[in-house]
Amino acid sequence: MFMAPPATDIAPRDPLLPRIVRLRGKRREIRGVWSLEVVAEEGEPLDFAPGQFSMLTAFGVGEVPVSVSGRTRDGIGLVYTIRAVGAVTAALCGLRTGAPLGLRGPFGAGWPLEEAAAREVTVIAGGLGLAPLRPAIEAVLAAGGRLVLLYGARGPSEILYPADLARWQSARRAQVEVTVDHAGPEWHGHVGVVTRLVPRARFDPDTALALVCGPEIMMRFAVSSLREAGLSDARIFLSMERNMKCAVGFCGHCQFGPHFVCRDGPVLGYDRLAPLLRIEEL
Ligand SMILES: Cc1cc2nc3c(=O)[nH]c(=O)nc-3n(C[C@H](O)[C@H](O)[C@H](O)COP(=O)(O)OP(=O)(O)OC[C@H]3O[C@@H](n4cnc5c(N)ncnc54)[C@H](O)[C@@H]3O)c2cc1C
Ligand code: FES
């Protein structure tokens, strides 16, 4: 008679083999950007740590790394916010509800939230860089930490998650500032690049941690402003993007100096990144 093995004997998932998941729902966030709600076929909860990414497959097209931007409302699925920039991201954003897709991961090192929850956290995000930071913001607020969020978008219609921003703005221990690069007369908020907001941020450089995600050029300027404000390199964390294939430290595609971004990152401390970011085109 066949005996099912005890749960402890079940082999762990091969990290190179995608599991089949389903698109339970999708939502257009801004032009060309969709949030996809993904659930496991067998219905078991999908887990992740804020800042981690998954490899998502659009069958017949290809596989790409995408950060987890949240959990589904019932807590069992994951949300990914994706900008359609090429073949795979366009195919993922074009999937219909109920369609299967492939999922590997989550992978990588996330935001240092064990340290962050206890203190104050300054988050600087540019454009879609708010996506991997959203779960970290929720975790900091849920743990009673103090949040300063500086967010920059190209224009008012490019602002991601406006409902979440409004909710965070009304949180007791939060300072939320939003700026846009360009705006018409209907916009009454800040205008200018996000780093101009750093002097407005109220944080203690001796205790605060800074979490930064956005285009690499924006992150470089954000780091300079944070250092000018007195933050040491060891208190600044960036989420890095590099081309990926295996996502588990085998292939070397994502190598950045001595680090594999898929395994050692994507979140890395600026104290480790500083010497590498000084090397052009690395
Ligand atoms: C750790 C990690 C997390 C990521 N998280 C997200 C996320 O949450 N949401 C999201 O939309 N994307 C995210 N990306 C970027 C995403 O993986 C790329 O946009 C995707 O690989 C592009 O594949 P494609 O086949 O659609 O386009 P391609 O045909 O590969 O590229 C189309 C165009 O997009 C540009 N492009 C390709 N990759 C990137 C990139 N990484 N950044 C900017 N431009 C790029 C190319 O230069 C080209 O001009 C992440 C990447 C990494 C490494
Ligand atoms: S993607 Fe293969 S080593 Fe990082």
> Distance (Å, rounded) from C-alpha 49 to C-alpha 111?
8
Q: Where are the alpha helices (DSSP H) in 41-194?
A: 87-93, 113-117, 130-142, 162-169
pLDDT value of residue 5: 45
Domain count, the chain: 2
106 upstream amide cis, omega within 30 of 0: yes
Q: Which of 31, 44, 102 is nearest to 247 (CA)?
A: 102
Predicted TM-score of the model (pTM): 0.93
Grade residue 274 by pLDDT with cuts at 50, 70 and 90. confident
Q: Give domain status of residue 25, yes or no.
A: yes
Q: Give domain status of residue 282, yes or no.
A: no
Average pLDDT over residues 84-101: 98
| Secondary structure element (H or E) that encloses residue 275, with its range | helix 270-277
Nearest-atom index, ligand 2, CA of 252: 3
**Is 82 in the same domain as 186?**
no
Q: Are 92 and 104 in contact (CB under 8 A)?
A: no
Computed from CA positions of residues 247, 252, 256, 259, in that sequence, does the dihedral angle turn out positive or negative? positive
**Is 138 in the same domain as 236?**
yes
* Domain interval for residue 181: 113-277
**Is 41 in the same domain as 132?**
no
Residue 280 pLDDT exceeds 70:
no
> Distance (Å, rounded) from C-alpha 192 to C-alpha 183?
10
Q: Are 99 and 58 in contact (CB under 8 A)?
A: no
pLDDT value of residue 276: 81
Instruction: Determine the Cα angle at 98 with ends 138 and 108, to 5°.
Output: 40
Question: Using one digit for the tens of pLDDT, what is the confidence trace for 153-180?
Answer: 999 999 999 999 999 999 988 999 999 9
- Mutate which of 67, 241, 246 for ligand 1? The one with the most ligand atoms within 8 Å of its CB, which is 241
> Distance (Å, rounded) from C-alpha 160 to C-alpha 153?
8
Residue 76 is part of a domain; what is its CATH number? 2.40.30.10
Ligand 1 centroid vs 241 CA: distance in angstroms? 8
Question: Using one digit for the tens of pLDDT, what is the confidence trace for 105-129?
Answer: 999 999 998 865 557 899 999 999 9
pLDDT value of residue 117: 57
Percent of the chain with pLDDT over 70: 93
Q: Give domain status of residue 138, yes or no.
A: yes
pLDDT value of residue 154: 96
Question: Using one digit for the tens of pLDDT, what is the confidence trace for 188-230?
Answer: 999 999 999 999 898 888 889 999 999 999 999 999 999 999 9
pLDDT value of residue 202: 87
Q: Of 81, 107, 133, which residue is a domain's last?
A: 107
**Is 102 in the same domain as 121?**
no
Nearest-atom index, ligand 2, CA of 245: 1
Q: Give domain status of residue 93, yes or no.
A: yes
pLDDT value of residue 281: 64
Q: Which of 86, 110, 107, 97 is nearest to 38 (CA)?
A: 97
Mean pLDDT computed over every residue of the chain = 92
> Distance (Å, rounded) from C-alpha 38 to C-alpha 59?
15
Residue 4 pLDDT exceeds 50:
no
- Mutate which of 259, 262, 264, 268 for ligand 2? The one with the most ligand atoms within 8 Å of its CB, which is 262
Residue 7 pLDDT exceeds 50:
no
> Distance (Å, rounded) from C-alpha 77 to C-alpha 103?
12
Return the ligand number nearest the Cα of 259: 2
Average pLDDT over residues 229-241: 94
- Which tokens belong to 271? 């104290």
Residue 136 is part of a domain; what is its CATH number? 3.40.50.80
Grade residue 150 by pLDDT with cuts at 50, 70 and 90. very high
Return the ligand number nearest the Cα of 110: 1
Q: Are 176 and 151 in contact (CB under 8 A)?
A: yes
**Is 83 in the same domain as 145?**
no
Q: Of 58, 73, 107, which residue is a domain's last?
A: 107
